[in-house]
Chains A and B, each alone.
Chain A
Amino acid sequence: EDKVVQSPLSLVVHEGDTVTLNCSYEVTNFRSLLWYKQEKKAPTFLFMLTSSGIEKKSGRLSSILDKKELFSILNITATQTGDSAVYLCAVELGNTGKLIFGQGTTLQVKP
C-alpha cells in the first residue's frame, strides 16, 4: 500500500528557532514529492522535488529529497509566528495526478 509518513506530528518552537520536518514514503511509482503549507484554508504550494540531492530554497525555507532512502526534509530557519501552520508532504504516483498525502506536521511558533 502506498503511504507517506510525516514526523513529528506536532512541534512547538519559539521565534528564531530552526525546525526540520520529515517526510518518508513508500510508493509503487514515485514521480515527485511536494510540500504544502496549510493555514485553515487551501494548502499553499511550497516546493516540488523530483531529483535526489538538489536543494530547493525560498527565503527561510528549504527542502531536499533523498530518493535512495525515500525521504525528504523541510527546513525553516529563523522561524516567525507567521510560520505557524500545518505542513503537508505529498507524493505523486506516476503521472496520475494522484497525490498521496502524509498526516501533516502542525507547527506552532511562539513569540
Chain B
Amino acid sequence: KAGVTQTPRYLIKTRGQQVTLSCSPISGHRSVSWYQQTPGQGLQFLFEYFSETQRNKGNFPGRFSGRQFSNSRSEMNVSTLELGDSALYLCASRHGTDSYEQYFGPGTRLTVT
C-alpha cells in the first residue's frame, strides 16, 4: 500500500499571503490529522478530520483551517501568514476513529519570509 502523501513538499511564502497544503491518506484510511513541527515547540496537534467533519481542534488561531473531501483527502489552509508559521506540517492517517496507529506523511516544509 502506498503511504501518506503530501503536496507540495516545500513552499516559500511571504508574510500576509495564504497557503493550502494537501494530504492524501493511506488507501482505506478515513481519518486524517494535521500537526505542526517546529524546533521550539516540537510536534503540536492542529486538527483531525473524519468523514468530512472536523472532530477535534488544537490550540491554534482561526487562521488555521482545514477540510476533508469525500475521498478522505484533506487540505489545510493558513491565511495571513506570519513568520512564526514557518514549520514542517505533517499529516497522519488512521483507518478509523477506533484505530490506534497513526501513520505520518513526509510533510510540507513551509518557509514564510
Contact = CB atoms under 8 A, between A and B. Distances in A.
B74 interface: no
Nearest to A43: B104
Contacts of B100: 31-32, 34, 48, 50, 92
Interface in A35-66: 36, 41-45, 48, 50
B103 interface: yes
Q: What is the predominant secondary structure among interface residues of chain A facing chain B? A: strand
**Top 7 A-B pairs, shortest CB-CB distance:** A97-B48, A101-B43, A42-B104, A98-B45, A96-B56, A42-B106, A32-B100
Interface of A: 31-32, 34, 36, 41-45, 48, 50, 88, 90, 92, 95-104
12 contacts: A42-B105, A42-B106, A42-B107, A44-B104, A45-B102, A45-B103, A50-B100, A97-B97, A98-B48, A98-B58, A99-B92, A101-B42
